[in-house]
Every structure is written in structure tokens, then in C-alpha cells.
Structure 1
Amino acid sequence: MAAGRRTVAARVAAFLAVASLALVTGAAGAAQAEETPLRDLADRHGLRMGVAVSSHLLDNARYADIAATQYNSVTHENSLKWESVQPQRGQFNWSGADRLVDFAQANGQDVYGHTLVWHSQLPSWVSNGGFSGPELEQVMEEHISTTVGRYRGDIDYWDVVNEAFNEDGSFRDSVFHRTLGEGYIATALEMAHEADPNARLFINDYNVEGINAKSDGLYRLASSLLAQGVPLHGVGLQSHLIVGQVPSSMQANIQRFADLGLEVVITEVDIRTSTPASQQALQQQANDYRTVFEACLAVDGCGGVTVWGVADPHSWIPDTFPGQGAALPYDDNYQPKPAYWAMHEALGGGQTDPGPDPDPDPDPEPGDGSCDVDYTVVNQWGQGAVVDVTVRNTGDAAVNGWRLTWTQPSGERITNAWNATVSQSGSSVTAEGVSWNGTLAPGASTSFGFQLTHTGQAGTPSGFSLNGAACG
């Protein structure tokens, strides 16, 4: 059995180091106005709300802050792949993988290990080694037992085999299948189980989100492995999708795997579009993210959803699909997009209609009955702050194309905003609804947020008006 990787003293040191980073990110990062974090909402459903993280990007304070505060599960984006961990036989590099495990432990997060046996990002000494069947099996055993054994008790979920199928449901021609036949999958699962009997083991693939030839192949394999008593606990549906093309059979597909007694996880969600993304595309993308989450939430056997990256500037999509991107819930400036809010709402947060005022003013003064505004400084540091604004239509008629104006305190400058188009001229500020929240029914409310700079303390604005009528 491979030994665990750390002593108690080392764990304490790792915790203190990452906790120090968390303090820095909390002070320097601009917190977004998302109210309850996604991870807290997911906890209420017993779901893992995951994100793929690149260890080297944890030096970016905003990146690290989002990864820590929004997600209760992290996946190694690249630092646990074979070429990263064992570039030469017997020479292991754990620096990147250890760093993310330390980060997760400091932030109370699960770790989803990705991945052990995959035809891609495989060092040439494996793919071109010319090993016989018994020799390749020994190579697999060395890699799996060492890697899983090192993180025994630290990583509870593993993508053991990744992308084993062709689009027609046949097995991919990898060095593993070519040398060992389809039995390499069962062998890899048994090796991982031997290294950590308590870990949950998955097979992961793409283009298997809906019911099709490829997912049928995965279904046949899963059924066969279970019938043989092979330790398979779940399947991962990667879900690298295109805006407007979420499979209509996604929920039914999740259900059929769950009916086998398997846990289903949606492991690598991103939903790409042509760039620069239009507002219409971003709204459709939000609808698509909501559909994915609703499909998972509708099936008891769905264990969680992981998005494949923290924010758009670090996505793999533009390099692989030129002219496409904007695939993640946070934009190039690390601000939440409509997709973020769709996830938030699907998990039970987000915008709500509070209904009619339970104690309306029977005789409102002129200009005092059209709207209420709640302006809240949700985070403040040095010379910066993040503000959440909720505007509610307290009038009797719907407000189409709402436009909120106010006077910002002297010395404050709004630098960026989300869920509204915000402009500033001197101390005069205008916020306008966007496509998905531009109409306010009577009694309805919507929220938007922005980041600002100030001279030492965020002040109190004045003179709020909704489409020209003064607000309370």
C-alpha cells in the first residue's frame, strides 16, 4: 500500500499558507453581489458544486477567491494528468497536484481526481513504449497505485478511465485498448480500488450527455462492469456544449445510469458561443446552464455539477475552437455573467418576486409610490468596494425598459458592473436593465451590482429615480 503524502505538521503548515492567501484574496478581490454563494446553495441539495482549477493560477487573487468562495469541490484541470505527474517512468512530480489539494483542504472542499488512464496528455514513454500486455499492465499498476495511494483520504473521487469511446459507441483505439483490449478498463478500476477502497471511482467521457450511440456504448460497458462485480461507482458526463444545443434527452440519460445504481456527475461543463458574445447568446447560454442544472436536480442519483474553469480568460475553448469561447459563468474581468445567475437561481437563489407590499401606503405622496431601492455595500477594502442594488417596482403598472438614476457621492467612480448597463458622468449615474431583466412587473424586483473606487470610505448615494419618478 502506498503511504499517505503528509504528516500532521505538514497539514497545519499547508492550512496556514493557504489561509493566508484567502485573507489576501478577501481584501484585494472585488467580491461580487451574488448573495448566497453557489456552494452554500448546493449544500442544501447535497450536491457537489465543482470547478476545474489550474494550480499555477492560484497566484491570481481574484481567481483564487472565486474558486474558494463559490465552489465546494475542485478538480485538477491538468496537474493530475499522467504527463504532469509522471513525465518519466518512476519520476513523479506532485507540486501542482499537492497545491490544489492543500487549497481545497484550507477551504473545506472535496477534491475530484482527474484523471488516471487517458489516451491524451500521456507521456511518450507510455504511448510509444512498445510494452507487451503484462508490461503495460505493470506500468498502469505503478501509476495508479502510486497516485491514488498518495492521496488516499485526501481525494475521494477519481476519474479512473477517461474518454474510452468513439462517437459510434465502439472503443477508442488507444495504446491501452490496443495492447490490453477492453479489459483494461476493469483492470484500472480494480487497481484504483486496491489503492483506496474508500474512494468512489468513475468513467468519464464527452458527447455522452444525451442518449445517443456513444452514451449507449458507455451504458453497455457500465452494465457489464457492474454485472462482473467490478468496482465502478459512477459515470461522468463532461458536457462541453454549444449554446442552444443542450440535448433534450439529458435528464433521461442521467436517469438511466442512475437506475443502474450509479452516481452520475456532470464533470466538465462549459457552453461555448461565437465571440464576441452577443447579449442574445449570453441569455441563451444562461438558459442552457439552467437546463443542465435542472436535469441534474431532477434525478436523485445526480451527485453534482462541475464547470470547466473559473473564468473565460483561462478557458481551453478559444485555442481549440478559434472564434468561439465565452463559455464559463464568469467573464474576462472575473464578473458573474447571466450564466452564473441562472445557476444561482436553479439552485434556489437569485431573483424573486416578493409579491405585493403587505402594508401598502394607502395615500402615497407624489413620486413616492413608483419604486423602492436597496443600496448595500457588500464588501469594502482600501479604496474599493462592491455594491449590490435591488430595485422594486411598487407601482401599479409594469415598467418596461427600466432606467434607474441617482447621484453618487463625491470622489466615487464605478469601474465595472453586472446584470445592468451602468454609466457615470460626474456624480450622475444611470443603470439600465438588460435583455433578461429589463421588465419589472408590479411588485417585482431585480438586482444588479457594481465595483467602485472611493477615497477611503464608500458613501451614501441620493436622488434615486426610476424612469423619472422618485424612489423611496
Structure 2
Amino acid sequence: MRSLRTGLSLAALLTGAAMFLTAPAAHAADTPLRDLAAAQGKVIGTAVTGSKLTGTYGSVTGTQFSSLTPGNAMKWGTVEPTQGSFDWSEADQIVAFAQAHHQQVRGHTLVWHNQNPGWLTNGSWTTAQLSTLLQNHISTEVGRYKGAITAWDVVNEAFNEDGTLRPTLWSNGLGSGYIAQALTWAHAADPDAKLYINDYNVEGVNAKSTALYNLVKSLKAQGVPIDGVGLQAHLVLGQVPSTLQQNIQRFADLGVDVAITELDVRMQLPATNASLAQQKADYKSVVAACAAVTRCVNVTVWGFTDSDSWVPSTFPGYGAATPYDENYAPKPAYYGIAEALGGTTTTPPPTNGACTATYSVSSQWNTGFTGQVTIACSGASLSSWKANWTYGAGQRITQAWNATCTQSGAAVSCANASYNGSVPDGGSVTFGFNGTWSGGNSVPTVTLG
């Protein structure tokens, strides 16, 4: 389905947090999702990028969610890029933030076929060597965060779509028993952490989820420490499996917890009022299915804001997959989650501030860069537009397209061309530019004039 599903595309990494309009005032008065979830005996989480845990991104993260999943920070390729040389900086940052905000942390992920360091994947290992490497990795990482991690996605994406075991470095080198070994090693490193097997396209009853079900049943019978199953739930608009709740219940009946671990619902762009309404229904359906099963303990969205989503770079033409837009305003999907958790909030109508401007840097080199601004409308429209911002790090625009841009000192103003001034409800336009930078290339705040 995907390899890099962390919500951290190059554009998103370079862009940083897009904070251009204030979230609707009604949102501030809503009961936070974490409080609604707690009242239902559930945990609501989000995947996060450690470097962004400041400003509005940090505020929403700390206020709305009771669990954090590091998007990239705990993967093998991040923590040990060179054999024996470790980098725990972002992982430590996320754990510290969670502790300061009384949040759980979901460790992600210990054993996966992707995002492993090159020294590991390019090495020539005997079975004994590979086993030792995996055991040491699990023992080191789980041991470092002993007592700080509530649950670990120990083994990630072990199956093919037909339910057969996926051929990977681990299954090829260690055989099918690597899953039981990994769980056993993780339990030894932190006996109190909940241990999960996590996979995608296992939300409904199908060949793949049945293979996972049979594996968990077998592991339980063998006495292997397995506490839960993670259903990733990377969904397409309007395609929530009808057997979702039934599937959650059958895993729960095995005596394990269930978590929705990476929920998002992607749609074809541009988003329309109709697609946003369907997305709200889809989010509500998924969360309600979890809420209906006692042992479904956690729903985690894979990034809460569209500016931090992996979808656009992986599925061209698709996006808008998360509960918040790129400007940190809650979308109808947010209210779908709230309603499924017993909230009584109503979606505010898309009135003031329905047209937004999002600045991003698509590539950067030496002292040059290419950037773009996307103007999108929902519940409103424009017949002409002007985007304004002020650079704070010595940037200068040298060339622009699809807009007429002028710069005076640090102040930039870009107006529509003769052919793209109209932005309909549900539509968007994008203009681009080349520029130079010195000392830094920080992301400015954009306003529409």
C-alpha cells in the first residue's frame, strides 16, 4: 500500500506548520477530544513530528489528544542510522512533550521492512547475526523508554494481501518465528508495555485480517506475549468496511485489545462540501465502531492536520485526509470524531475565513529555493485575490509564475494573473516562484487581501 506513511513528505518537512488563519472561535469552546474520549473509557491520539511541537501545532496536540505516536522518530533508520551510533533526540522530545501534557506514547515501530538503515538492509548476515541484531535493537529501544511507553507496535505489516507472510529481511532471514521472538524480546525489555502487531487493509473481515486473527490466536495459545492488534485504517472516502465493528469484536474476543492506529480518510482534490461531509461520516463511523467495543482502547489519527499528511505525496491528486485543515482549523471530520465520542458540538458553517492561503517550499538548494502558495476556498469563493507576506530571513523572490509578485524590502505581495483570479467554492489555485535566501529560509505567515 505504501512505504513512507508517516505524514512527512519532503514538501511537508520543508514547509513547516502552516498557520495563516485562526481556528473558528467555536472550537475553543468545544470539549477537547481527549476529554470526550476519556468519558468513554477511550484514548484519542495523533501521530506527530517532534520539531513541530510548538505554536499552534503544539497547542492543538497538547489540548486535543491523550496519546502521541512518533511518525518517524522511533524507526530503526532514524535512531541508528550508523551501526552503533544512536540518535534519540526527536524521540526524546516527543516523550518529554507527552509527559508534560499527561499523554500516553505509542511506540512505532520496532520491526518493519521499511525505513531501516542502509547498513542493515545492505549487510550480509547469517541467521544468528540477524537474530542478534534484531534482539539488540528491540532491547535497546524498548529498554531506553521502559516505563514511558504505554504500547509498542512491535511488528508492522507482516502480511501480504492474500494472507500469506510477507517476504522481508526478517521473514526471509529468520523464518515465521521472528514475530514471536520480537514480542518475547520486547516483553523482556519492558514487561509493563502493551505489545501490538500492526497492519493495513485489515480493518474489515478479509483474507489478510483473517491471517492476522489466526496468528494472534496461535501466539496466544503458545503463551507468546501479545496484548493487542493495530488496525491502521488508511481509508478512502466512502469506503469504511461494513464489517469493521465485527472485525474489532472478533479480535477482542481472542482476549486482546484493539487500536485504530493510523486513521485518515483521503479524498480526490479539491475538497468540496459534499466530500467533507462524507469524510465526517466516515470518521464518525470508524470512531463509533471502536467506541462500541470495550476492548477497542485507542483511536489515533495519522497526523491531525492536512499540512502534516503523507497522502498528497503518495497518492497524487488525493489529500485533505485529516481532521484539521492546513491552517489548523477543525474540519467537519473533527466534529464527526467528537460526535462519535458523545460530544454535542455542531459543525460551524463555512463562513468567514473559508478561503485560505498555504505557503510551502517544494525544493531548496545552496542559497536558492522554489516555493508556492495555494489558495483554496470552502463555503466561499473569490473573484480576485492578493496574497501578502513578510519574509523574516533575507529571502528575495527572483521569478514568479501564475501571479504578479512585487517585493519591497521584506514585504511581498502577489496578485492573481488575468486567467486565475476566480476561485470557486471547493476549488483552489496555485502560484509559484523562485527565490534566494541567506541565513535561513523560514516559512512566513500569508494573508489574503
Tell me which interval the TM-score lies in, with the shorter structure as reference length.
0.7 to 0.9
Query: d(CA) in 1 for partners of 2:275 and 2:350?
Result: 23
Query: d(CA) in 2 for partners of 1:64 and 1:79?
Result: 16
Is the CA contact 1:30–1:62 (under 8 Å) kept in the aligned structure 2? no
Query: d(CA) in 1 for partners of 2:95 and 2:146?
Result: 12
- Residue in structure 2 matched with residue 55 of structure 1 by the alignment: 50
Query: d(CA) in 2 for partners of 1:403 and 1:299?
Result: 34
- Is 2:323 the partner of 1:338? no
1:223 counterpart (217, 220, 238): 217
Question: Cα–Cα, structure 1 residues 105 and 417, in superposed 2: closer, same or farther, change >3 Å?
Answer: farther
- Residue in structure 1 matched with residue 436 of structure 2 by the alignment: none
In the TM superposition, what whole-angstrom CA distance separates every residue of 1:58-92 from its partner, at most 9, and x where no partner exists? 24x11111111100000001110110011111111
Coordinate RMSD, CA, aligned: 2.5
- Consecutive unaligned residues of structure 1, counting only runs of 5 or more, are 1-27, 353-387, 390-401, 405-413, 425-433, 436-452, 454-472
Q: Secondary structure of the equivalent of 1:285?
A: helix
Q: How does 1:160-179 map to 2 (within 5 A)?
A: 160-179=154-173
- Residue in structure 2 matched with residue 99 of structure 1 by the alignment: 93
Superposition TM-score, scaled by structure 2 size: 0.73
Question: Cα–Cα, structure 1 residues 276 and 219, in superposed 2: closer, same or farther, change >3 Å?
Answer: same
1:129 counterpart (123, 126, 129): 123
- Consecutive unaligned residues of structure 2, counting only runs of 5 or more, are 1-20, 357-377, 383-424, 427-446
Spell out structure 1 runs of 4+ moving beyond 6 A.
none
Measured after TM superposition, the shift of residue 57 of structure 1 is 1.6
2:272 counterpart (273, 278, 286): 278
Query: d(CA) in 1 for partners of 2:280 and 2:23?
Result: 23
Superposition TM-score, scaled by structure 1 size: 0.69
Question: Cα–Cα, structure 1 residues 351 and 30, in superposed 2: closer, same or farther, change >3 Å?
Answer: closer
Q: How does 1:450-465 map to 2 (within 5 A)?
A: none
Is the CA contact 2:23–2:330 (under 8 Å) kept in the aligned structure 1? no
- Is 2:149 the partner of 1:155? yes
Aligned residue identity for 1:74: L
Question: Cα–Cα, structure 1 residues 205 and 403, in superposed 2: closer, same or farther, change >3 Å?
Answer: closer
Question: Cα–Cα, structure 1 residues 403 and 215, in superposed 2: closer, same or farther, change >3 Å?
Answer: closer
Is the CA contact 1:63–1:310 (under 8 Å) kept in the aligned structure 2? no
Is the CA contact 2:273–2:379 (under 8 Å) kept in the aligned structure 1? no
- Residue in structure 2 matched with residue 73 of structure 1 by the alignment: 67
Q: How does 1:43-442 map to 2 (within 5 A)?
A: 43-59=38-54, 61-351=55-345, 415=353, 421=379
Q: How many residues are paired up?
A: 343
Q: How does 1:10-49 map to 2 (within 5 A)?
A: 33-34=26-27, 35-49=30-44
Query: d(CA) in 2 for partners of 1:415 and 1:338?
Result: 15
Measured after TM superposition, the shift of residue 128 of structure 1 is 2.2
Query: d(CA) in 2 for partners of 1:320 and 1:422?
Result: 29
Q: Which one has a bigger Cα radius of gyration? A: 1
Is the CA contact 1:32–1:336 (under 8 Å) kept in the aligned structure 2? no
Aligned-pair identity (%)? 54
Measured after TM superposition, the shift of residue 32 of structure 1 is 5.0
Q: Secondary structure of the equivalent of 1:33?
A: helix
Is the CA contact 1:85–1:93 (under 8 Å) kept in the aligned structure 2? yes
In the TM superposition, what whole-angstrom CA distance separates every residue of 1:282-306 from its partner, at most 9, and x where no partner exists? 1111100010011101111101100
Higher relative contact order (CA 8 A, sep 6+): 2
In the TM superposition, what whole-angstrom CA distance separates every residue of 1:79-122 from its partner, at most 9, and x where no partner exists? 10110011111111000000000100111100000000000001
Q: Secondary structure of the equivalent of 1:171?
A: coil
